[in-house]
A = this chain, B = another copy of it.
């Protein structure tokens, strides 16, 4: 059940420890399920109760602490020894007067890890305000500092094995996108198209199936295309309306997203024009990517094309992707937007996603991209233009 050899996890933990040393962190505690998986292999839909991985400068092996009933899942999915794969008692779950972080903090103190500078991901999804308060109270001799997504930043450059999973995820999203495009017809219910998408995304190929993606299929349609994050309902698609498909494939929790836009019947002239501009600008952006180029330079390359056509976009147009859990497949590190001076490095994987949302409709055409030693490579091989179905 292991996604990687123990040696790969050891390298990751060493990298995290080296960054911790640079920043003077004695202990790092992360609640981010992707970080937990990255450091130990721990996998399971158990992040709805508090759980952590702790990396210490004093111990070689990370400590993983989950709800008691999930501990056996750690034995199945991680290489950790029994004493470092721990579970807290069930009466701590969703209780008014006690919190799992009481127990977790107490355990870390017992293990001699309750002192010094303790870094936590202050903005991680599953690290609630109450979790933080409870952990601080349970570790009174520690000085808490924001880890500022330290592990996320280590994750940003992928290993060859990780890239192999990303390529498999790309294959899965190609299948899902084709299934979605095939299904969208006037009179077909949105839910039926989504059933076809899930079927392709999960059934996958003869060699491997897919897993749940960190964001569900999104397919805003009609006026819904003015906004990116509506999901589906049971209404039929309409002739004369556009539908945006934003999908991903997921393999071993690695994601490759892709967006395309479908129009039922002849599209408005302006929509067809903007779709052409969107494809051109997307490809100019991808062609601008190589090690050393900054994120804001990629945005500028894209912007030079679209601004010639009177398009202004103030939301970001890309972000790092890879290993993840709901609710987001983005890694919360680099963003393709003005002001982000992160330099690209070989092995980064990025969703170049320049959605254009106007008052009455929108267009999304996006690509998952791998930064190589000399440039950038699209992970998927799928036609890019506005899909017009008559």
Where the two chains meet, the residues of A that have a C-beta atom closer than 8 Å to any C-beta of B are: 1, 43-48, 68-73, 76-77, 89-91, 93-94, 96, 99, 120, 122-133, 146, 148, 189-192, 194-195, 198-199, 202-204, 208-212, 215-216, 218, 223-224, 226-234, 314-316, 319, 326-328, 330, 332, 335, 337, 339, 355, 357
**Complexed CA–CA distance, A319 and B216 (Å):** 25
Q: Please pick, from B44, B129, B212, the residue contacting A132 in the complex, using a CB distance under 8 A.
A: B129
Contact A215 B125 (CB under 8 A): no
Q: Other than A48-B215, A128-B129, A327-B327, give 8 A-B pairs with Cβ distance below 8 A.
A: A44-B229, A48-B327, A91-B337, A129-B131, A190-B209, A195-B199, A195-B203, A198-B202
**Complexed CA–CA distance, A47 and B87 (Å):** 28
Residues of A contacting B: mostly:
loop
**Complexed CA–CA distance, A129 and B215 (Å):** 23
Q: Which residues of B contact A122 (CB under 8 A)?
A: 128-130, 133
**Complexed CA–CA distance, A228 and B71 (Å):** 10
28 A-B residue pairings within 8 Å (CB atoms): A1-B233, A44-B227, A45-B216, A45-B229, A45-B230, A46-B229, A48-B215, A48-B330, A68-B315, A69-B227, A70-B229, A71-B227, A76-B223, A90-B314, A91-B314, A94-B332, A123-B129, A125-B126, A127-B128, A129-B129, A130-B146, A191-B208, A192-B203, A195-B198, A195-B199, A195-B209, A198-B202, A327-B327
Q: Which residues of B contact A126 (CB under 8 A)?
A: 125, 327
Q: Please pick, from B68, B73, B123, B327, the residue contacting A130 in the complex, using a CB distance under 8 A.
A: B123
Minimal beta-carbon separation of A182 from chain B (angstroms): 15
**Given contacts A125-B128, A129-B127, A230-B43, A328 and B48 within 8 Å (CB-CB):** yes
Q: Please pick, from B89, B339, B357, the residue contacting A91 in the complex, using a CB distance under 8 A.
A: B339
State the number of copies, please: 2
Top 10 nearest A-B pairs (CB, nearest first) are: A191-B209, A129-B132, A72-B227, A122-B130, A198-B198, A90-B315, A123-B130, A48-B328, A195-B203, A48-B327
Q: Which residues of B contact A128 (CB under 8 A)?
A: 122-125, 127-129
**Complexed CA–CA distance, A80 and B78 (Å):** 47
**Given contacts A191-B203, A229-B44, A96 and B148 within 8 Å (CB-CB):** yes
